[in-house]
Amino acid sequence: MFKHSRKIIALTAALALTSTMGLAALAQAETGKSFSIVEAASNQDSLTIPEIADKCRTSVVAIETETTVVYNTYDNNYPYGLFGFGYGYGYGGRSNRQQEYTETAAGSGIVLSEDGYILTNNHVISGADKITVYVMPEEEGGEETTYEATLVSSSESNDIAILKIDAEGLNPATFGDSDNLEIGELAVAIGNPMGSVHGSVTAGIISATERELTIDGVTISAIQTDAAINPGNSGGALFDSYGNVIGIVYAKSSSVSIEGIGYAIPVNDVKELIDQMINDPESVQAQTKGSQIMLGITIQDITEELSEQYSMPVGVYIREVSELSAAERAGLQKGDIIVEFAGEPVTCADDLNALKAEQTPGDTVEVKIDRNSKEMTLEIVIPQPTQVETAN
């Protein structure tokens, strides 16, 4: 890949930031031609921040998802908005009436091809019943175009997903070289912060490279930037000074007291996988399905704040248990709170995922849970990866 000598561009303004960005690619311009992300690399001269915003703005899309959540109204002490369900913790024996509501979430995406392939994070669209993509207008002040997207392929272990919308003439992002980054060089993010500021632009520098980061059991060697990253930016892009995507916006620091620390997945780490996910999605799904040990549960953290507010133990709340899964066979139920796994304390999903990864398929391990304010211990058989059918 052509390497440019890079200038460190002094930043004079903090622009409004990012959430979903562009990534590179021409896709199947000719019949039978395979998609190749590398072919989209740019070799132009460095740009100013306004030039980057103008070039890349329409290569970034906003994403909105809708997910139907079913919950049990055991007791009104816990508003369903708290966890996304209405489990009446600690109040057994009440009437159990199922209700449902639609949960919405937002993220960003990167245009890969003129005919509508979109890159985003897997966690942005995971479990969604409906995915809507908003494409920025060519002219500022124009109306966005709305599309319903279909999921082409996803990789939970790499936290990326490919969507497809029925569109033509989109502006694909160009793809850069994330192995050639220098600390202190310009970084520009464009995206959908808070799910409401489509096409927002922020700028900063590359603060560090190869920062190990683990979220929801996915570990990456991340690019760190001080360009503003906020909820809704996930799946967007981090651009270099040439207007090329060098990172897929992934997360910000988990500490609410710390600002100016955001992370992105280096594009070089996923270039080949992106090509394969578009050209041969079935093979990718076959490779990634069961690549992690999954127990068959959908979970959510109970933080110390929630624990104190509702007199619940800190741990991992089970939102759903899949039929015929290892969790169901072990006797785990919706509403249980996992507090220990394999003899080690569990305070969040990261703890559970890390402990789960240490186990050997076929082993029997103890799971300590809190069920209706009563502590009990169950035994679960760790499933073979190829037998997993659900996401956690």
pLDDT 10s digits, 260-269: 888 999 999 9
Share of the chain above pLDDT 90, in %: 41
For the chain, the structural domain boundaries read 38-64+106-282, 297-387
> Which of 38-52, 231-245, 281-295 is predicted with the least confidence, judged by mean pLDDT?
281-295
Render pLDDT for 8-27 as a digit per residue (tens, 0 to 9).
Answer: 333 333 333 333 333 333 34
Quick one: pLDDT band at residue 338, thresholds 50, 70, 90?
Answer: very high
Render pLDDT for 211-257 as a digit per residue (tens, 0 to 9).
Answer: 877 665 567 789 999 999 888 999 999 999 999 999 999 876 554 45
Look at residue 16 in the predicted model and tell me its pLDDT: 32
Mean pLDDT taken over the chain: 78
> Which of 31-40, 115-124, 159-168 is predicted with the least confidence, judged by mean pLDDT?
31-40
DSSP-derived secondary structure for 30-50: STTPPPBSGGG---PPP--HH
Q: Tell me, what amino acid is at 387?
A: Q
Query: DSSP 3-state assignment of 324?
Result: coil
CA 225 vs CA 9, 44, 208, 209, 259: distances in Å:
15, 23, 7, 9, 11
Quick one: pLDDT band at residue 308, thresholds 50, 70, 90?
Answer: confident
- Cβ atoms of 13 and 101 closer than 8 Å: no
Quick one: pLDDT band at residue 287, thresholds 50, 70, 90?
Answer: low
**Contact partners, residue 305, CB within 8 Å, separation at least 6:** none
Tell how strand 186-191 and strand 237-239 pair up.
antiparallel
234 has catalytic annotation? yes
Render pLDDT for 79-88 as a digit per residue (tens, 0 to 9).
Answer: 444 444 433 3
Catalytic-labelled residue, pool 126, 155, 234, 241: 234
Catalytic-labelled residue, pool 42, 153, 155, 159: 159
* Architecture category of domain 297-387 in CATH: Roll (2.30)
> Which of 65-74, 135-144, 371-380 is predicted with the least confidence, judged by mean pLDDT?
65-74
Q: Which residue has the tokens 């090509």?
A: 275
Catalytic-labelled residue, pool 19, 59, 108, 123: 123
Render pLDDT for 310-323 as a digit per residue (tens, 0 to 9).
Answer: 888 999 988 888 77
d(CA 224, CA 44): 25
| Between 292 and 134, the higher pLDDT residue | 134
Q: Which residue has the tokens 């004079």?
A: 12
Query: DSSP 3-state assignment of 280?
Result: coil
DSSP code for 269: G
Residue 10 in tokens:
């002094």
Residue 214 in tokens:
């683990």
DSSP-derived secondary structure for 68-125: EEEEE-S-TTS-TTTTTS---TT-TTS---EEEEEEEEEEEEEE--TT-EEEE-HHHH
Same-fold call for 38-64+106-282 versus 297-387: no
* Architecture category of domain 38-64+106-282 in CATH: Beta Barrel (2.40)
